[in-house]
């Protein structure tokens, strides 16, 4: 019997150099919006709980309350200063299973509490890894790279889960993710097994959330909440990995100081070498840096070695698996506009897309959509830009 044992949402915060990364506040904002509705709809008093790990990070707790948390559980410990997956997994699982903490946060639900109802992590390189190891430990399911969430009662008939009979699952989180290169939405449900022969709970229902898709709420200094300290149990064997020094390697591709970025994707396919050279020329005239879509970094087409070394590299990827950019002008050449790519460039002031397919998602994301093949369009743009340059010089 699920009801009663699983309460609240735990939102796992992510820090970089002791500062919250934006996706932490975005996840908190979405949790707040969901739980305001949830508590109204189900006449409950479940909480949005921020889980904060680090060293000397307690000062951030008030900020988390202003951004929507009802409670902050803070594990502040020197061994948590740097993110190490083994220790972080252990401490997050300890917090998720702690009845005393849950009782302090909401005494009504304390006695029966077993685990959080839901858990959210960031869908970046740290959160993707962490969420998978935490959910393995907690023996429940995980949906990765989510960009839409709803909580509903759903009726399911499933051979194994419900022994072929319709069963209504209350308070189920529907987790949406783009699949098949971003062209199809998949809804993922993490359901208890209600088949009497193999009955078993699958809670917390958990997901990792794509950075940039949800908005943080406007901070409200008058919000109040509880801040609880958690003293983690760390064994010597958890400390096998030691961080002797940590250096963030700055990318050689400088997207931050340039006003324009020209990015290209698999649309170069008809003549990759020539098209990359064309884009290179275009970027030079536009004084732009060059970005790519994720598949390009995996070198999908054979091209001249120096072009490949220069451009088909992870450092140039724009999106959730790469960089987030906000230039004045972003030109997407031969890019279809998958959600993971859009998350990296949607802050650009002006978005221009060059694509022969007017049904591509990139059209919806662009201020100016030029329907056509790059081979035909880019030479015209170069010619026009050069003309304008001459006019300005004269």
Ligand X SMILES: Cc1cc2nc3c(=O)[nH]c(=O)nc-3n(C[C@H](O)[C@H](O)[C@H](O)COP(=O)(O)OP(=O)(O)OC[C@H]3O[C@@H](n4cnc5c(N)ncnc54)[C@H](O)[C@@H]3O)c2cc1C
Contact positions toward ligand X, by CB under 6 A?
145, 181-182, 265-267, 270, 293-295, 317-322, 334-336, 338, 340-341, 344, 354-357, 360, 373-375
Smallest gap from Cβ 128 to ligand X, in A, equals 8
Q: Tell me which residue has tokens 């959330």.
A: 209
Kindly state the smallest distance separating residue 352's Cβ from ligand X, in Å.
12
Q: How far is the C-alpha of 2 from the C-alpha of 91, rounded, in Å?
A: 24
Closer residue to ligand X (CB): 65 or 143: 143
Q: Is the peptide bond before 60 cis (omega within 30 degrees of 0)?
A: no
- Measured from the CB atom, the residue of 82 and 375 that comes closer to ligand X is 375
Cβ proximity to ligand X: between 105 and 213 the closer is 213
Strand partners, 370: 354
> Closest distance between ligand X and the C-beta of residue 144, in Å?
7
Phi, then psi, of 104 in degrees rounded to 5: -65, -35
Q: How far apart are CA 29 and CA 34, in angstroms?
A: 9
Cβ nearer to ligand X, comparing 36 with 274? 274
Mind giving me the DSSP string for 151-183?
Answer: EEEEEEE-TTTSTTSEEEEEEEEEEEEEETTTT
| Residue number, 150 or 270, with CB nearest to ligand X | 270
CB of 50 to ligand X, least distance (A): 25
Question: Any idea what DSSP says for residue 378?
Answer: H
- Which residue's CB is nearer to ligand X, number 270 or number 367? 270
* Alpha helices, DSSP H, located in 97-152: 99-105, 107-110, 125-137
Q: What Rg value do the Cα atoms of the chain yield, rounded?
A: 24
Cβ count within 10 A of residue 248: 7
How far is 34 from 38, CA to CA, in rounded Å? 6
Q: Which is nearer to ligand X, 232 or 334 (CB)?
A: 334
Least Å distance between CB 310 and ligand X?
17
Look at residues 108, 93, 182, 107 and name the one whose alpha carbon lies nearest to residue 145.
182
Looking up tokens 């460039």 gives 345
Query: 330 CB contacts (<8 Å, ≥6 apart)?
Result: 260, 261, 263, 345, 348, 350, 351, 352
Q: How far is the CB of 30 from ligand X (least distance, A)?
A: 19
Q: How far is the CB of 15 from ligand X (least distance, A)?
A: 22
Measured at the CA of 350, the angle between CA 394 and CA 385, to 5 degrees, comes to 25
Looking up tokens 């759903």, which residue turns up? 154
Which residue bears the tokens 């000397």?
A: 56
Whole-number minimum distance, CB 309 to ligand X, in Å? 19
Is the Cβ–Cβ distance between 344 and 212 less than 8 Å? Answer: yes
Q: How far is the CB of 182 from ligand X (least distance, A)?
A: 4
Contact in structure between 87 and 233 (CB atoms under 8 Å): no
CA 194, CA 184: separation in Å to the nearest integer?
Answer: 29
| Nearest CB to ligand X, comparing residues 89 and 293 | 293
- C-alpha 366/C-alpha 369 separation (Å) is 6
Least separation in angstroms between CB 319 and ligand X: 2
Q: Which CB atom, from 191 or from 290, has the smaller least distance to ligand X? A: 290
- Residue whose CB is less far from ligand X, 162 or 355: 355
């Amino acid at each position: 019997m699920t009801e009663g044992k699983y309460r609240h949402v735990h939102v796992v915060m992510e820090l970089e150099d002791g500062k919250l990364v934006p996706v932490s506040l975005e996840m908190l904002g979405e949790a707040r919006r969901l739980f305001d509705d949830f508590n109204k709809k189900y006449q409950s008093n479940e909480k949005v709980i921020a889980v904060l790990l680090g060293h000397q990070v307690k000062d951030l707790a008030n900020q988390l309350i202003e951004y929507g948390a009802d409670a902050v559980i803070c594990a502040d410990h020197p061994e948590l200063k740097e993110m190490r997956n083994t220790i972080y997994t252990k401490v997050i699982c300890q917090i998720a299973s702690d009845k005393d903490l849950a009782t302090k946060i909401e005494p009504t639900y304390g006695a029966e509490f077993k685990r959080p109802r839901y858990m959210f992590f960031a869908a970046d390189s740290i959160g993707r890894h962490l969420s998978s190891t935490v959910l393995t430990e907690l023996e429940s399911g995980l949906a990765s790279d989510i960009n839409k969430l709803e909580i509903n009662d759903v009726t399911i008939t499933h051979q194994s889960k419900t022994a072929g009979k319709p069963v209504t699952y209350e308070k189920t989180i529907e987790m949406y993710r783009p699949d098949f290169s971003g062209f199809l939405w998949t809804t993922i449900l993490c359901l208890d097994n209600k088949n009497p022969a193999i009955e078993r709970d699958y809670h917390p229902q958990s997901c990792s959330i794509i950075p940039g898709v949800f908005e943080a709420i406007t901070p409200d200094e008058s919000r109040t909440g509880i801040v609880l300290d958690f003293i983690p149990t760390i064994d010597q064997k958890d400390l096998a990995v030691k961080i002797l020094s940590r250096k963030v390697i700055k990318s050689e591709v400088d997207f931050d100081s340039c006003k324009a970025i020209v990015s290209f994707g698999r649309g170069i396919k008809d003549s990759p070498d020539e098209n990359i050279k064309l884009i290179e020329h275009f970027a030079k005239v536009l004084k732009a840096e060059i970005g790519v879509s994720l598949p390009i970094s995996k070198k999908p087409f054979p091209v001249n070695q120096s072009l490949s070394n220069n451009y088909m590299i992870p450092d140039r990827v724009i999106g959730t698996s790469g960089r987030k950019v906000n230039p004045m002008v972003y030109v997407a050449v031969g890019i279809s506009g998958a959600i993971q790519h859009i998350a990296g460039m949607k802050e650009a002031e002006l978005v221009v897309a060059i694509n022969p397919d007017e049904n591509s998602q990139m059209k919806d994301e662009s201020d100016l959509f030029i329907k056509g093949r790059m081979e035909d369009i880019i030479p015209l743009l170069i010619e026009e830009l050069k003309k304008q340059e001459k006019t300005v010089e004269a």
